[in-house]
Structure 1
């Protein structure tokens, strides 16, 4: 994607449409910077979008010297609007708008979002590469607001990055915090790290989802850094703009909040090219192998070749890697998730996804076959077996190396097998075969009934060969 060229074209159009010179564009005051624009500079779109609630006084971000820490997104109260007024407002077809903007640049999409919603929209900033959103907003020359969720468990590097971003853009980020009583109750009853045992959803609900819900009740729209290539199974179909399926805006009710995803169609590599080109500050954790960044206990670096979301909640299934902020991405949440945030067994029982690891050198083990293999204390040959799900992108990612390994080991005294461990077999695999997340690789030694679990996230041929040779 020629992101730089597209951005350049869109930037030029944006500048000319407002008759601003390039140096004026960069210095344009912003709501986020707590320097409200002079009346003659306020974009007409922002004025029109707020005219519908004429009784609402525009809320600007607090001055930097203020000691108040209450974000405006949490304190704005939606006014009562008569039904007659509401009925007279033409509701936009956002599905149609999404199609119209499908091939638009992120800058054009950002400009449209800020134009339509003015002070009633804000950028959700996580402290990762979605700093690109702030840069795009700056380039539009329009006022903008930024908010972030401080869970209380972020890395020190992320907090320092927040400060860097505020100084770089001369803005004040509107922070949202979890309810102290709720956090206290969770920690006292279940401990500091309960999410490792019963899933991350409960902790995320207290520390992230509920604070976000409060923030969004003060807005009519929000801007996220979601991309289609970020998460297997949950973000592949996100549009550039949509009616938020999970949260409510200041007017309340279904359809009261609009969600913009300006970089939905952008490849992660192009995002990074943009950040480098524009000399945008980035979180120092990125240089340590972190790509997707969340809370410290639930985030770790990824290895070369791993998907970026594999560093988040790594003890859970690949398709459960959402914290709840974008749960609307999951089409049938009740069917796809159970109490601990992982897929329910029935979700993929009837899956029509094509099988993987299909080669004559990989033995397809049935439930009976792997049960017998696990019971044997004396085997003629050792076995290497992958517990997998064909829909899992991480399993798909290691298919080539596993098949190549099977070819190398053919006739060498080591059997290579696979066992599909999702659906009805998932609970059995968890209890009897140490399944944690997909894929799980087990080595069954020749003279031992107990399998040895491959401990590394590196799944290239050489690493797997070393593991086998050390144990055979």
Structure 2
């Protein structure tokens, strides 16, 4: 059929008449313009869906998510098509191998591409800002959430505000349950973690809020690095099925965990941050490296590992809060600081402080030394575990101390205080965490504990010279 167009008015009228006939036609083969023809539903609803209505049923992946008080409500508002085909299950172990040598930017881009609005960056307010910068550089939309424990440093809150303004985003904050926090504080006080360990407080203030947040996601992005804690994170893959937490679909395997900077060294992260001139936590310039809650974080000294600033009153192997429990290598056997399990504390690692100038003391030897009230010479003794990364870090300075004190009248010794000896060392030798350094004076029965975190040879020598 041909339509003659003579004027704009006649064209309009003809067009109107044409589309009216199309819309009223009962021919199932008639073309549908401006609408979709779908099968009649059992409930008798209309089978015609307007294009605008149809689009509203599809999640706008490229749209900036609205600000919400938590992740879960946001996820609950996402409308999905009524009929969807189940995607083939991804082999994430193979994907991790494929991306093992990929850059953080490439890994981040892959994560955002695969999961769109169902993935979010976990931002702790430390160098995790690198993750946000990588996400920004991909050009893709991204979401960020953070756990506000209620005990963060003021500098951390200021960083949150700076990050939101720089990137034009709204961080989705998750808070602990007020009733649980109230019960914990009323029962045990504000600082119970100094006495019975940090796990309970972290469980209430961090782990449970994280669990709620992840229930609204299909994947999350973390700033875990292998070099952050060699004892617990040394085998982090760049992507994995989360072995601990569940996603929005529920059940094991319903959440994917991405670790784009797993293979990046801490120094390289900081080079990237300085190069890109991104905002960072002001505490970093005050000696803080790994930053958590204010009561449980302190600066580290030169030569100390970054995790020594977290929960410093506990053993090195406990330097985790539970957020990344699935990445902690553990066994029924004792877990050492390098992630290697020893049955009942029996060593399979090479010993440390192994030099002719350091005397290895047995249990009876250290007992005799501790009981003696009239020693012929003073002793310096380190209580250690060969698997402890902090003991390993001070090995060179302690050996150098022994060399300097050789022939000076001061004996230098070591006592392995883990495994079966640990309880004795804690009750009789003031062991708090590894390493613990003691000076047994010549004319005193009680040993003096080295109080400083400085473990360089000059600081150790000053301690000995002041007391011997």
CA contact (8 A) 1:327 1:333 kept: no
Q: Summarize deviations over 1:395-419 as a string: whole Å, max 9, x none.
A: 0010001001001101101110000
Unaligned residue ranges in structure 1 (runs of 5+): 1-53
Query: Which residue number in structure 2 is paired with residue 223 of structure 1?
Result: 221
Which segment is superposed worse, 174-183 or 420-429? 420-429
Query: Which residue number in structure 2 is paired with residue 185 of structure 1?
Result: 183
**Runs of 4+, deviation exceeding 4 Å:** 54-64, 78-81, 333-338, 345-348
Query: Which residue number in structure 1 is paired with residue 260 of structure 2?
Result: 262
SS across alignment from 1:437: coil
Unaligned residue ranges in structure 2 (runs of 5+): 1-55
Inter-partner Cα distance in structure 2 for 1:117 and 1:290: 34
Query: Which residue number in structure 2 is paired with residue 14 of structure 1?
Result: none
Inter-partner Cα distance in structure 2 for 1:366 and 1:444: 16
> Are 1:364 and 2:360 counterparts?
yes
Which segment is superposed worse, 117-126 or 349-358? 349-358
Inter-partner Cα distance in structure 1 for 2:73 and 2:313: 33
Instruction: Report deviation, 1:75.
Output: 5.1
Inter-partner Cα distance in structure 1 for 2:212 and 2:184: 19
Instruction: Report deviation, 1:89.
Output: 2.8
TM-score normalized by the length of structure 2 = 0.83
CA contact (8 A) 1:244 1:257 kept: yes
Inter-partner Cα distance in structure 1 for 2:141 and 2:289: 29
SS across alignment from 1:351: coil
Inter-partner Cα distance in structure 1 for 2:343 and 2:244: 21
SS across alignment from 1:384: strand
User: What is the aligned residue count?
Assistant: 410
CA distance change for structure 1 residues 127 and 218 in 2, over 3 Å: closer, same or farther?
same
Instruction: Report deviation, 1:77.
Output: 3.8
CA contact (8 A) 1:166 1:173 kept: yes
Q: Summarize deviations over 1:176-223 as a string: whole Å, max 9, x none.
A: 000000000000111100101111000000000000000000000000
For the aligned residue pairs, the C-alpha RMSD in angstroms reads 2.5
> Are 1:355 and 2:351 counterparts?
yes
CA contact (8 A) 2:374 2:442 kept: yes
Instruction: Report deviation, 1:454.
Output: 0.4
- 1:60-209 correspondence to structure 2 within 5 Å: 63=66, 70-73=69-72, 76-77=75-76, 88-209=86-207
Inter-partner Cα distance in structure 2 for 1:337 and 1:180: 34
Which of the numbers 396, 414, 420 marks the counterpart of 2:392? Answer: 396
Q: Summarize deviations over 1:379-438 as a string: whole Å, max 9, x none.
A: 001110000010111100100010010011011011100001111111111111111111
Higher Cα radius of gyration: 2
> Are 1:413 and 2:409 counterparts?
yes
CA contact (8 A) 1:330 1:336 kept: no
CA contact (8 A) 1:386 1:440 kept: yes
Which protein has greater RCO, CA pairs closer than 8 Å, 6+ apart? Answer: 1
CA contact (8 A) 1:386 1:441 kept: yes
Inter-partner Cα distance in structure 2 for 1:92 and 1:278: 34
Inter-partner Cα distance in structure 1 for 2:206 and 2:59: 29
Instruction: Report deviation, 1:150.
Output: 0.1
- 1:218-367 correspondence to structure 2 within 5 Å: 218-332=216-330, 335=333, 349-367=345-363
Query: Which residue number in structure 1 is paired with residue 49 of structure 2?
Result: none
SS across alignment from 2:254: coil
